[in-house]
Structure 1
Amino acid sequence: MTTRMLVHGMMAGAGLLCAQFVCETAVRAEEPPPAPTTAAVEAVPGTTLEELVALAEASSPALRQAAAEVESMRGKAYQAGLYPNPVASTGATQLAGDESQYFAALSQEIVTKRKLQLDQAAVC
């Protein structure tokens, strides 16, 4: 066996070892860490499980985001039950000194046949 073959064999072995290490590390990274046992939670002096749960709920960004989404949907459901806002518009069709023409308009959509209830049901 030549030195070259020996070096290539060692490099191949090292490559396989590295590949195995990377694969094992990736598998470990995907696995969630084990949950603390009740004994570990109770070992904290002066803190109950209920207090720890309340602390986790208060500081969880996922729960805050979910609460914001709930409030957003409540607002949309409330808005769906209201009549549409009136629309006011103004403008000038012709600007020519004394012969200038201006206009103003006010429009309001008239809701008929339970459309508000249907809109509200569609949002909810």
Structure 2
Amino acid sequence: MLRTFDLILIAAMLVAATVTYKIKYDAEKQIVVINKLKRQIASEKDTITLLRADWSLMTQPGRLQNLVDVYAKELHLQNIDAKQIVQFNEIPERPVDEIEKLISGSDTVMANNAAGTDPMSTGSVKPSRTRQ
């Protein structure tokens, strides 16, 4: 003699148990993902530490001087004279490249477009668009 109310309560209990199980299962999956990310972060930190140590070894002045001594003849290395160091305003300007000429030429085309003329050399005026 189950009443309708008892059946509704049993169904609600089953739904609640299913939802609870699903939430627990999803939380466990997220914990696995978080642990994996933590391991990856730790690995990256270890790699960064190793690379910093390697960099400090590679840039030691004694090691660099030994490399200069070994490869000086092949690289034609010379000492810097004090006369070679100049102020910023003493550096000559770089000559204009072909690409800069093309770019400056495109500036005039854009100026013509802004003025309302057609980029083709017809001299026609573009129709103006009205906003509605």
What's the TM-score once normalised by structure 1's chain length? 0.31
Larger RCO: Structure 1 or Structure 2 (Cα < 8 Å, ≥ 6 residues apart)? 1
Structure richer in helix, relative to its length: 2
Structure richer in strand, relative to its length: 1
What's the TM-score once normalised by structure 2's chain length? 0.30
